[in-house]
A and B are shown apart, each in its own frame.
Chain A
């Protein structure tokens, strides 16, 4: 069953059609890749799904409910967690507070709940549980400011998981990580999926994108040029052309 449905979504900035009539569906419990060269419109797609931007046309549904045009905080509460290509931690707050902030998602906006203290036993346990799953336990007391990029990427994933999402959007969460960190994070993403969360990921690292995604969509200049399982996408001449330019097909097929 489709959890996320993106139907004919377009977004222009001035004369530039950043996303042009893109459609795809992410099913319950799958890892879905969104790939494409620089400037293909991937992050714009994420911003449309998470409500940072409003589409010019088309519709986006989560579990059958239209979410396009809703504010980012509403969409987050409906179960869409996300990370950012350029990390956006709450720098002057501790890692504990960063993750707790995500747990608060279902309390903000309700007077009786938001007026209660957050450092309660159940919150602490929940944060510790998420932190140990993501591998952040030893950093809980540290301020986010100055932590290495790999830790901040995990922090963003933990913060997004804390709001108990149905869909997790990962925007290049693997970039800037060392080889062993990449392996750990791939394992983590699979565990998240096994826990029942659908994952939509933008990824530049082809090995990661091909290795993780069960299905994928390829964007180029805002348009969808290919869709399907990684093995098929990898050998699609349009995809090869988008990445490597026109020339001897087959050269980049190994990927």
Chain B
């Protein structure tokens, strides 16, 4: 496989993983977040700082990235207990800008120059070059997808759905809104942190603009296009919105326009996403002999 395809596919895998984290917050628990790139960035910066400045092994640095992102997610989850809907969207946008400016202005994070010289990922005596990292990333994507699938079947997963559907009713059946909203933010941020950690070891150079607000918009677009709340929606969304701009490379300046158009078309014609209920995939499957779909 050529270097170009390696790069594109690894990058899509990392994005799909970040979107899966966002899906826990938005799709499972119904809490809007437009600041997901902040947690992606926190993971990336944690891994970068830990492995370059403190000489931690990449595996430990990656674990630390997950932990730190989860911890920050816990604290930044608190606004969701106070504000909802549009106001939560604005608050999370705010956290994204704050995170980005901290990366930019604190010398500790390398300022506008970012952090370079990040080592290749290595674990258990193996060093992961481009090809191996691709498999590791996609293996992790698969693992996260399986974990999400299993999580949705637990009592905690059911409680998150209750919070998404009806908060007052949820608390009337013993679901603590505080506990489960924070749980969603912690889990979603942890997954974003993992994706961010991989991003640092993949790029080996990171700078604040990698985690700016448009990245959050991109994550959310991928989720909406693929199907909010579904297990493989994040994957499909990341593949589609990741590959399209590559195919239309001459139009690279219009990338955001493409995202915008895709998003609008999705909302108009596939409101629950391609993989969502009543979406294109379900309709194609049911036409093909009624396999895999019970709903009309």
Contact = CB atoms under 8 A, between A and B. Distances in A.
Contacts of B164: 92
Contacts of B179: 108-109
Given A108-B176, A109-B176, A73 B158 contact: no
A163 B162 CA distance: 15
A30 B161 CA distance: 34
Contacts of B177: 73
Interface stretch (B46-54, B98-106, B138-146, B149-157): B149-157
Nearest to A52: B168
Contact of A91 (B155, B157, B165, B170): B165
B232 to A, nearest CB: 18
Given A71-B176, A91-B165, A118-B153, A104 B158 contact: yes
B155 A107 contact: yes
A103 B205 CA distance: 50
Interface residues of B, number: 25
B174 A108 contact: yes
A76 interface: yes
Nearest to A115: B154
Contacts of B291: none
Contacts of B174: 73, 76-77, 102, 104-106, 108-109, 163
Contacts of B62: none
B132 interface: no
Contact of B156 (A52, A89, A100, A108): A108
B169 interface: yes
A84 B168 contact: yes
A179 B158 CA distance: 35
A63 B159 CA distance: 27
Nearest to A110: B155
Nearest to A162: B173
A227 to B, nearest CB: 27
Contacts of A77: 174
B166 A91 contact: yes
A97 B165 CA distance: 12
A79 to B, nearest CB: 10
Contacts of B155: 104, 107-108, 113-118
B154 A114 contact: yes
Most buried by A among B154, B155, B162, B179: B155
Nearest to B158: A118
Contacts of B170: 90, 101
Interface string A150-184: 00000000011011000000000000000000000
B173 A92 contact: no
A76 B172 contact: yes
A82 B165 contact: no
Nearest to A78: B174
B286 interface: no
A114 B153 CA distance: 10
A17 interface: no
Contacts of A117: 150, 153-155
B175 interface: yes
A81 interface: yes
Interface string A51-88: 11000000000000000000111001100011010001
A101 B171 contact: no
A105 B161 CA distance: 14
A50 interface: yes
Contact of A76 (B156, B166, B173): B173
Contacts of A109: 174, 176, 179
Interface in A96-151: 97, 100-102, 104-109, 113-119
A159 B165 CA distance: 14
A88 B153 contact: no
Given A101-B173, A105-B174, A90 B159 contact: no
A106 to B, nearest CB: 7
Given A73-B171, A90-B165, A91-B165, A100 B158 contact: yes
A174 B261 CA distance: 48
Contacts of B157: 118
Interface in B150-208: 150, 153-159, 161-162, 164-166, 168-177, 179-180
12 contacts: A72-B168, A73-B177, A76-B173, A82-B172, A93-B162, A101-B170, A104-B155, A107-B155, A108-B174, A108-B175, A108-B176, A117-B154
Given A82-B172, A84-B169, 20 more contacts: A50-B172, A71-B171, A71-B176, A73-B172, A73-B174, A76-B173, A76-B174, A89-B165, A90-B165, A92-B164, A101-B159, A101-B173, A102-B173, A105-B175, A108-B174, A109-B179, A114-B155, A117-B153, A117-B155, A119-B153
Top 3 A-B pairs ranked by shortest CB distance? A105-B174, A90-B165, A72-B171
